[in-house]
Amino acid sequence: MSLDDLYKEVILDHYKSPRNKRPLPGATVSKNRNNPLCGDEITVHARLDDDRVAEVTFEGQGCSISQASASMLTEATHGKTVGEADALAREFRGMMEGTVDPDEDAFGDLVALKGVVKYPVRIKCAVLGWDVLQEALGRPAGD
C-alpha cells in the first residue's frame, strides 16, 4: 500500500486548484451536507435546464479527497441529463465499494480516486460530494 496510490497528482491538482468552486447565482437546486465524523462539508449548486444539468458548482471545506472528488464531480456531470448524472454517481459509489470497474473514458479524472478503495476510512470523504449531488437531483443515494 503506497501513499502515492491515494495522493495522485491529478487529485492534488483538483485539491489545490478546484474547478467550479463558487456560488451559483440562478441555481435551481442547492444542497449541503457535512460529515459528522470529520467535519468535512460540501454544498452542491446546480442549474437544471429541463432534464439537463446545465451548470454545477460546489463550495465547501475539508480534506483533499473530499474536495478533489467534488471538483471532479462538477466537470464530470456538466451537461449530462439528471438520469446520466445519477447513473455516474451510482457507478462512482460502485467503484468505491470495489464492485464496479470503471470505464476509464467515461470516468476521466475520477479514475484517480480508485486508489481510495485501499483506504476504507477515506471512502466516505470521496463519496460525500456525490451524496449531495444525488440529493440535489432528487435521487438520494440508497433509492
Partner 1 sequence: MAAVEEAALDAKRIREDFPILSREMSGKPLVYLDSAATSQKPRRVIQAVTEFYERSNANVHRGVYELGAEATELFEGARATIAGFLGAPEPNSFVFTRGSTESINLVAHAWGRRFLEDGDQVLLTELEHHSNIVPWQLCARDTGAELSYVPITDDGLIDLDAVAASFTGRTRLVAITGQSNVLGTRPPIREIAEMAHEAGAKILVDAAQFASHNPVDVVELDVDFLTVAGHKMLGPTASGGLYGRPELLEEMDPFLGGGEMIMEVHPSTSTYKEPPWKFEAGTMNIAQEIGLAAAVDYLTEIGMKNVADHERELTAYALERLTAAGATVFGTHDPDLRGGAISFWFEDIHPHDLAQVLGDQGVAIRAGHHCAQILMRRLGVPATARASFHVYSTPEDVDALVEGLEAARQVFG
| Chain residues that interact with partner 1, rule: CB under 8 A | 1, 3, 6-7, 12, 37-41, 61-65, 119, 122, 125
**Residue 39 or 83 with smaller CB distance to partner 1:** 39
Q: How far is the CB of 6 from partner 1 (least distance, A)?
A: 7
**Residue 16 or 22 with smaller CB distance to partner 1:** 16
Strand partners, 115: none
Which distant-in-sequence residues (6+ apart) come within 8 Å of 107 by Cβ? 76, 91, 92, 95
Strand stretches in the chain, DSSP E: 29-34, 41-49, 52-61
In what side-by-side order are the strands of the sheet with 41-49?
29-34, 41-49, 52-61
Q: How far is the CB of 96 from partner 1 (least distance, A)?
A: 16
> Which burial class, exposed, middle or buried, applies to 61 when counting CB atoms under 10 A from its CB (0-12, 13-18, 19+)?
exposed
Q: How far is the CB of 15 from partner 1 (least distance, A)?
A: 8
Q: How far is the CB of 36 from partner 1 (least distance, A)?
A: 8
**Residue 39 or 138 with smaller CB distance to partner 1:** 39
Cell 454544498, located at residue: 43
**Residue 56 or 112 with smaller CB distance to partner 1:** 112
